[in-house]
Structure 1
Amino acid sequence: MHGADQNPTAQDEYRTATRRIRRFSLHLTPIVRSVGAADQLQMLECSKVTPKLDVDTANLSDYMRGKNREIQERIYDYFNSRPELQTPLEISKDEHRDLCMRQLLGLVKEAGIRPFRCVLEDPAKYFAIVEAVGSVDMSLGIKAGVQYSLWGGSVLNLGTKKHKDKYYDGIDNMEYPGCFAMTELHHGSNVQGLQTVATFDPLTDEFIINTPNDGAIKWWIGNAAVHGKFATVFAKLMLPTHDIKGLSDMGVHAFIVPIRDLKTHQTLPGIEIHDCGYKVGLNGVDNGALRFRSVRIPRDNLLNRFGDVSRDGKYTSSLPTKNKRFAAMLGELVGGRVGLAYSSVGVLKIASTIAIRYSLLRQQFGPPKQPEVSILDYQSQQHKLMPMLASTYAFHFATAHLVNIYSEMKRSHDEQLIADVHALSAGLKSYVTSYTAKSLSICREACGGHGYAAVNRFGILRNDHDIFQTFEGDNTVLLQQVSADLLKQYKEKFQGGTFTVTWNYLRESMNTYLSQPNPVTARWESVDHLRDPKFQLDAFRYRTSRLLQSVAVRLRKHSKNLGSFGAWNRCLNHLLTLAESHIESVILSKFIEAVERCPDASSRAALKLVCDLYALDRIWNDIGTYRNVDYVAPNKAKAIHKLTEYLSFQVRNISMELVDAFDLPDHVTKAPIAKKSEAYTQYTQNVGF
């Protein structure tokens, strides 16, 4: 500063910069407006007569975060105390991979967080850990998921005691970093079509792993390019026969294949590893491609929970058919989908927090001769962000329910729960990750130019999260699984078969939902009626029931000429809409239940407001469907639209409290424009002021 006093030019530059920052700060710092100014804006006339809800953020946060809050805060505090383990904005692929491994080792060996121990003992705690480390760096969350949920989970869930005894400690303490080698160059979602083969050699008591052609190269295998020492390899199990065929295909099984020497880390003979290179995002994860050339492994390396081979080459299984064994194997790997749905909500929480805090902070335009107003006061900004905030809350409770029933399934191994988790995880993973991917772009746009700065995270979050729509099951394929399950239940319903609890609203009320809409209730438009959970759920379920009935009729008609595959393809868009409609019904029902059981009155009132916005916004977005079948009369449609805008305004009034209830510290959100205080001081310092 002494230099600035002595040098007029430097002093002028200093004053100019100071004025710039002061002007910038005045432009952006929130100004508390008088009631008169708010009235003058007349954003919504009803704002004059409805008081803002009083939200106890601490109670709401306690209700939201539950018992695993402490483990997440331990993770946040650890990385905050270790600045050298925080991911910089600009980092090369190789540096990012090295840092990601050091982050994971630090978490396990220094912070004492052992995710693997929770995979079986406390799945809810495991998913909370993965969500927290993903908030630090999404590459770290995925790398941890590969190590513990995929590689480790395959050993625990597909293997038997001998495998757990041999590999558990090494996986837990990171001495055995591993891969999950399922996807191939030509086959991803169609796992039964995998071409890698594992042929049993009875002379040596070994399996021979082979990649028969380039299409069978294992591709996108996390941990393979640099760090992995083992791989769970999915391959067709081939057994020698004494007939003319020579080999018998027993279906896809999983095998533990060492890929690098434990001491030297050199690639083992017969194994070829290549780097998949830079990706759109998640460059801290070392994805690689694997080719096997007559790689021999002991017979014991077959993960034999669902099928085994004896010393003399005889195959045994508790399950009678290839399809049943395959279904059981995939069913045990469903935890990956559960984790992705849960983690995707964590990403949405971060993005909506950044966008909403910025929108409250940033001011632009306003009434003549009045202070500028927060951009979240504009109806257009509320329309972008408030239904998104409501959806974030809805998804939180829906995925928490999914985690709970998954945990119960792991404890009980109940067949009905297994079916429920399989179907619900497919639907929620698809729906939530697709919604989050779109929302990340909306958040970026809602923050204007500042949303484009890498330091404010939207670009990084968007790129890292994008692949959530593809791995652990492509979203379009997963939605078809949901539709197939609904059609199976529909068929059983009308053929007098048993009807499982998975879609019990169809069992209980299918005939009611498929009857003609009541011309009286179709015209009801009172606020009490529209905010009644029964009306909202009935509307969601009516839509699903109609879609299910109509697609069943279409499939039956087209099957006569096109066959089952051709008919399915002809109705595919209809089937996807059905699945999304059903998942929205489940999400709403779980949100309503969460509102009803909330013990704190203040929190319950806030959640009820948010839940109503979620429900009515979804109904309004598909109002054409309801109008086409006269479920909603024109006057009622207008009332729904008006109330949705009003609820958006009301949620805007408590939006700060709602995002604060996510309880994400500034060092987790990281974006300067989302700081709770001195946001723009840090932002300007970031570029060198």
Structure 2
Amino acid sequence: MAAAQERSQSWNQSDEPEDQATVARRIRRLTSHLTPVPPSNGGGTALMAAEGCAGGKKAAAMAVDEAALSVYMRGKHRDIQEKVYEYFKARPDLQTPIEISKDDHRELCLKQLLGLVREAGIRPFRYVVEDPAKYFAVAEAVGGIDISLGIKMGVQYRYLCSNVQGLQTLATFDPMTDEFVIDTPNDGAIKWWIGNAAVHGKFATVFARLILPTHDTKGVTDMGVHAFVVPIRDLKTHGVLPGIEIHDCGHKVGLNGVDNGALRFRSVRIPRDNLLNRFGDVSRDGRYTSSLPTINKRFAATLGELVGGRVGLSYSSVGVLKIAATIAIRYSLLRQQFGPPKQPEISILDYQSQQHKLMPMLASAYAFHFATLHLVDKYSEMKKSHDDELAGDVHALSAGLKAYVTSYTAKSISVCREACGGHGYAAVNRFGSLRNDHDIFQTFEGDNTVLLQQVAGDLLKRYQEKFKGGTLSVTWNYLKVSMNTYLSQPNPVTARWESEDHLRDPQFQLDAFRYRTSRLLQSAAMRLRKHSKTLGSFSAWNRCLNHLLTLAESHIESVILAKFIGAVKSCPDEKSRAALKLVCDLYALDRIWKDIGTYRNVDYVAPNKAKAIHKLVDYLSFQVRNIAKELVNAFDLPDLITRAPIAMKSEAYSQYTQYVGF
């Protein structure tokens, strides 16, 4: 109200009562916010305003073929996503309302999942086995409908019930009955936050320590962590089975369509055949066999099956980022506020500050898209080949991308909300639900801080192997070069090059990213070696922890940029390739600028070059702004997915004003 009064005073400085003409003029002015004035001369007003806000440089108009770019972006599984969208478009009764109770949301989510399988003919479990990339495409599409639905589908088809860190749950083999006895020995071993457990689940895959009786003085042998299928409810009555204790985790910050529960097992007996025996088996007489020789190798192989969850979260998180960015950018294109004296007001996306918030984010969404597509391809290859080296590569890459992408998306949703001002706070415009539902992605399938430590640990392992003459997998291959090239003394001439052609050269950008990672890796190894002598390995790691997290993030950014550059080169359509190159340059240079202190401290970038990078980032943001509409349209998200009235492709404000009662 205060803001409205303040603005009213700016239009009518007189204390005299307003006449009819003044009132009419004010009404027309207010209406212009709801019905944007179309730019004249092919967008000349917007361009003129952008020139003023972006420092006076002019950008040549870039034509973007939205359809061609969209085809390249969405790839071969576009059809299955369209099938999901068309089904829910035809079933408005299955679309999640803005306000819904926890219990109703759970039941609706179940109906959505059953309808998807039984009516639409989508078979997620079959895709997991036959074509993982197709499964992840479905997961992205249904997550756009309702993130709870995406998570419920993932849980439903993975039966996952896991607490592998410090696992205490026991599965003791009873040779007299040919059964395993599942026990929760103490409260610390209770299985928490198990999706579908509270209401709908009938089975769970339980990770437990396999205990076998022996005939020696030990009595029993611990064979390590294995997975068991455990029935938790009667298939006919749906009643909880004897020995199973289930508690509802209740109302959550988000994802209330998923019925999370906590499980305790009290001497629950299951047939021996319920052991998932891919990595280890028990015969009728209690003998254990495995193709993997040690408990550690079996544990690593078992955990490898969790990689799919991290791949899915990475991929789905990019989908959430696309939705949030689309809403914020479309609103910013439509919303007009202030401008030059006696001229029409301008789009708020013409303000440099708004471009600074949203254009690098849009570039990141594109970068993450191609990086996670690469991850999905590597995961699919791993599932077919069962190659140990590839499995290790995918494990580290999925951990790093999941941590990096989900953390970035979580922060970006809040930025998008703020960029839309008061309208971003309306529940109907989705930022609240997107933020709340996505927030747990930072914890699912491993806490992000822990996952980044895994990446750092793997980098250090590869670093040591380099000096032992070992081979490096493809993802880490640049480290071989880095020890010889990237860590050499910076060239004082190159450090001062500041031409636009040089700064937009993909080789310069990639070298800069990899140089930073290589320096961080080398210095981390030296620090750990130094502190380990006096503090021990655990305390040394803790002393260097922030350094190690930065190292992991730097490495993941190097991988993301490499995949983005590769995607630009592979794009067959010339116009789309030019647009992608522009977006890729913005992503790379924005990241370099955000960590310019690191480059300045080692004279990798001289002061004049740093200033040139900063100016170019602003200018590239302005250039991307000029094609922002086409770039978000190329995500090809139907109104069914964006849903926010301020993000509709047409008549956005009229829909919004109708919603609030005008």
TM bucket normalised to smaller: over 0.9
Alignment-mate amino acid for residue 100 of structure 1: C
| Aligned CA-pair RMSD | 1.6
Task: Write the letter of the residue equivalent to 2:60.
Answer: P
Give the conservation status (yes or no) of the 8 Å contact 2:247–2:262. yes
Question: Counterparts of 2:152 and 2:189 in 1: how far apart (Å)?
Answer: 24
1:141 aligns with 2:163: no
Q: Find out whether 1:67 has 2:105 as its counterpart.
A: no
Q: What aligned pairs does 1:68-107 form with structure 2 within 5 A after superposition?
A: 68-107=77-116
Measure the CA separation in 1 of the matches of 2:25 and 2:189.
63
- 1:600-628 CA-to-partner distances (Å, cap 9, x unmatched) read 11000000000000000000000000000
Residue number in structure 2 paired with 1:421: 394
Match of 1:171 in 2: none
Task: Answer whether contact 2:200 2:259 (CA < 8 A) is retained.
Answer: yes
Paired-residue identity, %: 81
Selected match of 1:459 from 432, 442, 452: 432
Cα distance change of structure 1 residues 449 and 539 upon mapping to structure 2, 3 Å threshold: same
Once the two structures are TM-superposed, the CA of residue 192 in structure 1 deviates from its matched residue by: 4.3
Preserved CA contact (<8 Å) 1:37 1:370? no
CA contact (8 A) 1:29 1:363 kept: no
For residue 684 of structure 1, what is the amino acid of its counterpart? T
Mapped partners of 2:359, 2:401: distance in 1: 21
What secondary structure sits across from 2:485 in the alignment?
A: helix
- Letter paired with 2:311: V
Could you tell me which residue of structure 2 aligns to residue 578 of structure 1? 551
Distance 2:238 2:640 in 1: 36
Superposition TM-score, scaled by structure 1 size: 0.90
Aligned with residue 56 of structure 1, among 49, 65, 72:
65
Contact 1:238 1:250 in 2 (8 A): yes
Q: What whole-Å deviation, never above 9, does each CA across 1:488-509 have from its counterpart, x for those lacking one?
A: 1110112323333330011133
Report deviation, 1:408: 1.2
Q: Distance in 2 between matches of 1:688 and 1:247?
A: 71
* 1:277–1:287 contact (8 Å) kept in structure 2: yes
Deviates more, 1:630-639 or 1:239-248: 239-248
Counterpart-to-counterpart distance in 1, 2:185 and 2:28: 67
> How many Å apart are 1:19 and its aligned residue?
11
* Residue aligned with 1:239, SS: strand
Deviations 1:13-61 (A, max 9, x none): xxxx99999764412333234537854662234543x312111111000
For the 8 Å contact 2:281–2:288, the answer to whether it is kept is: yes
Q: 8 Å contact 1:103–1:140 — kept in the other structure?
A: yes
Q: Is the 8 A contact 1:30 1:360 kept in 2?
A: no
Q: Counterpart of 2:285 in 1: which secondary structure?
A: coil
| Equivalent residues of 1:192, 1:251 under 8 A apart | no
1:288 aligns with 2:288: no
SS at match of 1:502: helix
CA contact (8 A) 1:196 1:212 kept: yes
2:132 paired with 1:123: yes
In 1, the alpha carbon distance for the partners of 2:55 and 2:139 equals 45
Aligned length, in residue pairs: 636
Deviation of 1:461 (Å): 0.2
- 1:293-332 superposed matches below 5 A: 293-332=266-305
Which residue is 2:572 aligned to?
Answer: 599
Q: Flag structure 1 segments of 5+ consecutive residues without an equivalent.
A: 1-16, 152-179, 184-190
Equivalent residue for 1:242, pick from 202, 215, 236: 215
**Which residue of 2 is the match for residue 678 of structure 1?**
651
Q: Which residue of 2 aligns with 1:470?
A: 443
1:322-471 equivalence runs, <5 A: 322-471=295-444
The residue number in structure 2 matching 1:42 is: 52
The correspondence of residues 492-503 of structure 1 with structure 2, limited to 5 A, is 492-503=465-476
Q: Which residue of 2 aligns with 1:270?
A: 243
Candidates 123, 139, 163, aligned match of 1:114: 123
Aligned to 1:27: 33
The CA deviation at 1:279 is 0.6
- Give 1:575 shift: 0.3
Helix, strand or coil for the counterpart of 1:306? coil
Amino acid at match of 1:116: F
Judged with a 3 Å threshold, the aligned counterparts in structure 2 of structure 1 residues 438 and 192 are, in CA distance, closer, same or farther, namely closer
2:548 matches 1:539: no
Counterpart mapping for 1:87-236 below 5 A: 87-148=96-157, 150-151=158-159, 180-183=160-163, 191-236=164-209
What is the TM-score normalised by the length of structure 2?
0.94
Q: Give 1:203 deviation, angstroms.
A: 1.0
Which deviates further from its counterpart, 36-45 or 676-685? 36-45
- Which residue of structure 1 aligns with residue 3 of structure 2? none
| 1:647 alignment counterpart | 620
Distance in 2 (CA, whole Å) between partners of 1:382 and 1:335 is 35
